[in-house]
């Protein structure tokens, strides 16, 4: 889908939210593809972790919040442990689920992270 | 054997070759086609990877040659014939219209590169659209302050124009445009903080000490946005430019409004490099860059004994490597200088 890059990062709501939830190193990502190859769940994802990250930078909110990947992620943290710049996807994915939930977006896959399903009915936020 | 050496080309490689020889008590004839020394570095604002100001650095280099009594600089001059062999070459030089004959023991070729005019790239609108310039023109804009007018604007830097292109350009990679484009984006953010810098790339090639960190600093500390995908088109739209590409990291076509588009064009061989090769009796590669005697072990020897190569007349190179080759070529010529 064609999209237009805006120059004003302040208008990029999703980027601002992800940054304020403690992920301020997004632009250190080398787009090296290691995370996508190592994630146990990425074969079920529509976007690999780094593709989600790239879309956050350009503010492609609709596509991210409607993606399967954010619900399937096991928040296992493996991708962060072996990422050369320690991008914290576990935290990013949790924030994205939270934003999706606020927007009233339901998981669109059967493969939802079970840890998250339990918590979805609980008013408390997901753990880090 | 003649004590004199001939250096052809007064760019940064030729300057360093000449100074090194002079420091070894050799007499040097330095033949420069133009009316000034310095070559392409004359068009440079600052140098990667430290962002040193280029002109003071160059002036210091030039003065080492100009103040040297062992070096005879011939401006507006070209070599017209060469005969003889290593240790005893006979050379004719057209010195500003007059033919002069010289005897030299060794020859160092340091004629540099030409910066490609990307006129064949109609998809980028070069020479047709205002505000589409080459990287070399952009260096001038930094030096004369023209970039200051791009406050609150979007400036797009386009990699690989004329390089990595079998059809309209060259198959090779120009090696340093990834790094100088990062330098250009960084200079923009320093001089005009309100401007936004975007760089479109195929892959990022940081081929030298400190270059990777330099480019990452542009991205991470200065917020330069790198988008992976070769620019497809630049279209004139009302009073702005529309840049079209694909963001290959997510597979989506992407558009961006730009106020200035900067094309990192190819470093190509000098237009007359094959003619000079003919005069000297040395080989070139298919493109017209001068060919080394052996690519791993003999980086500064040409295919002919007594003739040496230095700098970007052999391939696209940065300053540091051109300087090193100039000094190495000088050192290797000593054995032919009696
Ligand atoms: C836009 C741009 C930005 C750059 N930025 C950087 C940077 O930040 N850092 C860096 O390290 N490098 C940079 N470079 C590369 C740098 O310009 C080269 O490394 C350097 O100019 C090479 O020096 P040279 O002496 O080999 O060739 P040149 O600079 O091309 O000099 C060659 C000289 O030979 C003369 N000549 C040519 N033919 C003849 C002939 N037949 N007879 C007599 N004389 C002749 C020419 O007139 C010229 O004076 C940049 C290049 C470009 C295009
Ligand atoms: S492993 Fe880390 S650096 Fe590499 S693409 Fe994934 S997030 Fe980016
Ligand atoms: S945290 Fe999520 S994205 Fe990262 S490896 Fe685990 S499942 Fe994959
Ligand atoms: S150095 Fe970079 S911009 Fe230049 S041709 Fe090679 S890949 Fe392209």
CA count, 13 A, side-chain hemisphere, B25: 1
The mean pLDDT of A12-41, rounded to a whole number, is: 94
Using pLDDT thresholds of 50, 70 and 90, give the confidence band for residue A114.
confident
Instruction: Please state, rounded to an integer, the average pLDDT across all residues of chain B.
Output: 97
Query: Tokens for B167?
Result: 């059809």
Give the minimum alpha-carbon distance from A30 to chain B in angstroms, rounded to a whole number: 9
Does residue A118 surpass a pLDDT of 60? Answer: no
* Chain A interface includes B244 (CB < 8 A): no
Provide the pLDDT for residue A54.
97
Using pLDDT thresholds of 50, 70 and 90, give the confidence band for residue B23.
very high
- Decide if A3 and B219 are in contact by the 8 Å CB cutoff: no
Q: Distance between CA atoms of A99 and A111, rounded to whole angstroms?
A: 19
What is the pairing mode between strands B4-8 and B106-109?
A: parallel
Does residue A123 surpass a pLDDT of 60? Answer: no
A-contacting residues of B 58-77, CB under 8 Å? none
Distances from the Cα of A38 to the Cα of A23, A28, A35, A49, B212, angstroms: 21, 19, 5, 10, 25
Using pLDDT thresholds of 50, 70 and 90, give the confidence band for residue A108.
confident
Q: Point out which residues pair with B308 in neighbouring strands.
A: B108, B301
Does residue B149 surpass a pLDDT of 80? Answer: yes
Which amino acid residue places its CA nearest to atom 8 of ligand 3? Answer: A39
- Decide if A60 and B228 are in contact by the 8 Å CB cutoff: no
Quote the distance between the C-alpha of residue B156 and its chain's center: 21
Q: What pTM was computed for the model? A: 0.96
B-contacting residues of A 82-121, CB under 8 Å? none
Q: Distance between CA atoms of B149 and B132, rounded to whole angstroms?
A: 15
The mean pLDDT of A10-16, rounded to a whole number, is: 90
Q: Distance between CA atoms of A79 and A98, rounded to whole angstroms?
A: 20
Distances from the Cα of B211 to the Cα of B50, B51, B64, B206, angstroms: 9, 12, 28, 5
Does residue A128 surpass a pLDDT of 60? Answer: no
Q: Point out which residues pair with B324 in neighbouring strands.
A: none
Q: Distance between CA atoms of B306 and B106, rounded to whole angstroms?
A: 5
Task: Show the domains of chain A with their CATH numbers.
Answer: 13-117 (1.10.1060)
Q: Please list, in sequence order, all residues whose beta carbon lies within 8 angstroms of the beta carbon of residue B150, skipping any fewer than 6 positions away.
A: B188, B192, B195, B259, B260
ipTM, two decimals, is 0.91
Using CA coordinates, name the residue in chain B closest to A46: B250
Ligand 4, residues B136, B201, B205, B265: which to mutate, most atoms within 8 A of Cβ? B205
Q: Distance between CA atoms of B250 and A1, rounded to whole angstroms?
A: 10
Angle in degrees, CA A113, A115, A118, rounded to 5 = 110
pLDDT tens sequence across A40-57: 999 999 999 999 999 999
Provide the pLDDT for residue A119.
56
Q: Which of B15-19, B119-123, B236-240 is the least confident region?
A: B236-240
pLDDT tens sequence across B179-199: 999 999 999 999 999 999 999
Which amino acid residue places its CA nearest to atom 8 of ligand 4? Answer: B160
Which residues in chain B have Cβ-Cβ distances shorter than 8 Å to A31? 228, 249
Which residues in chain B have Cβ-Cβ distances shorter than 8 Å to A5? 198, 225, 227, 254-256
Using pLDDT thresholds of 50, 70 and 90, give the confidence band for residue A124.
low
- Decide if A51 and B223 are in contact by the 8 Å CB cutoff: no
* Chain B interface includes A7 (CB < 8 A): yes
CA dihedral B33, B39, B43, B47 (to 10 degrees): 180
3-state secondary structure (DSSP) of residue A101: helix
Does residue A95 surpass a pLDDT of 70? Answer: yes
pLDDT tens sequence across B286-337: 999 999 999 999 999 999 999 999 999 999 999 999 999 999 999 999 999 9
Provide the pLDDT for residue B164.
98
Give the minimum alpha-carbon distance from B243 to chain A in angstroms, rounded to a whole number: 10
* Chain B interface includes A51 (CB < 8 A): yes
pLDDT tens sequence across B226-243: 999 999 999 999 889 999
Task: Show the domains of chain B with their CATH numbers.
Answer: 4-112+270-336 (3.50.50.60), 116-267 (3.50.50.60)
Provide the pLDDT for residue B315.
98
Provide the pLDDT for residue A125.
56
Nearest to residue A27, comparing CAs of B197, B38, B293, B255?
B197
Does residue A127 surpass a pLDDT of 70? Answer: no
A-contacting residues of B 76-105, CB under 8 Å? none
Using CA coordinates, name the residue in chain B closest to A5: B256
pLDDT tens sequence across B150-161: 999 999 999 999
Provide the pLDDT for residue A115.
72
Using pLDDT thresholds of 50, 70 and 90, give the confidence band for residue B174.
very high
Between B154, B227, B249, which is nearest A7 by CB?
B154
Q: Distance between CA atoms of B172 and B166, rounded to whole angstroms?
A: 9
């Amino acid at each position: 889908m064609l999209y237009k890059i805006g120059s004003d990062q302040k208008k990029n709501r999703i980027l601002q939210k992800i940054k304020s939830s403690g992920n301020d190193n997004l632009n250190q990502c080398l787009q090296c593809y290691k995370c996508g190859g190592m994630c146990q769940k990425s074969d079920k994802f529509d976007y690999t972790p780094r593709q989600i990250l790239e879309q956050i930078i350009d503010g492609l909110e609709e596509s991210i919040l409607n993606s399967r990947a954010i619900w399937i992620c096991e928040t296992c943290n493996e991708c962060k442990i072996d990422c050369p710049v320690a991008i914290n996807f576990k935290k990013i994915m949790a924030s994205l689920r939270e934003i999706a939930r606020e927007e009233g977006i339901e998981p669109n896959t059967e493969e939802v992270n079970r840890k998250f399903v339990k918590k979805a009915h609980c008013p408390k936020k997901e753990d880090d | 054997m003649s004590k004199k050496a001939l250096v052809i080309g007064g760019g940064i490689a030729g300057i360093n070759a000449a100074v090194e020889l002079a420091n070894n008590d050799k007499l040097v004839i330095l033949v420069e086609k133009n009316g000034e020394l310095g070559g392409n570095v004359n068009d440079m604002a600052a140098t990667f990877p430290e962002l040193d100001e280029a002109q003071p650095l160059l002036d210091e280099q030039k003065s080492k040659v100009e103040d040297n009594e062992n070096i005879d600089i011939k401006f507006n001059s070209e070599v017209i014939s060469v005969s003889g062999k290593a240790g005893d070459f006979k050379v004719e030089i057209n010195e500003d219209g007059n033919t002069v004959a010289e005897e030299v023991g060794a020859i160092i070729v340091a004629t540099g590169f030409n910066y490609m005019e990307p006129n064949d790239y109609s998809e980028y609108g070069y020479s047709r659209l205002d505000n589409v310039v080459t990287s070399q023109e952009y260096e001038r804009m930094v030096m004369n302050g023209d970039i200051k007018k791009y406050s609150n604007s979007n400036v797009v830097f386009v990699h690989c124009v004329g390089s990595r292109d079998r059809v309209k350009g060259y198959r090779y990679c120009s090696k340093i445009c990834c790094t100088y484009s990062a330098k250009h984006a960084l200079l923009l953010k320093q001089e005009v903080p309100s401007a936004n810098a975007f760089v479109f790339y195929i892959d990022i090639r940081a081929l030298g000490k400190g270059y990777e960190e330099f480019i990452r600093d542009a991205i991470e500390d200065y917020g330069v946005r790198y988008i992976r995908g070769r620019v497809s088109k630049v279209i004139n739209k009302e009073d702005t430019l529309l840049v079209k590409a694909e963001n290959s990291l997510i597979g989506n076509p992407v558009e961006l409004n730009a106020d200035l588009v900067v094309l990192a064009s190819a470093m190509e061989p000098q237009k007359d490099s094959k003619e000079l090769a003919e005069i000297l009796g040395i080989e070139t590669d298919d493109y017209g860059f001068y060919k080394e005697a052996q690519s791993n072990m003999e980086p500064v020897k040409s295919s002919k004994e007594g003739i040496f190569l230095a700098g970007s007349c052999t391939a696209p190179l940065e300053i540091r490597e051109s300087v090193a080759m100039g000094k190495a070529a000088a050192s290797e010529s000593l054995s032919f200088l009696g």
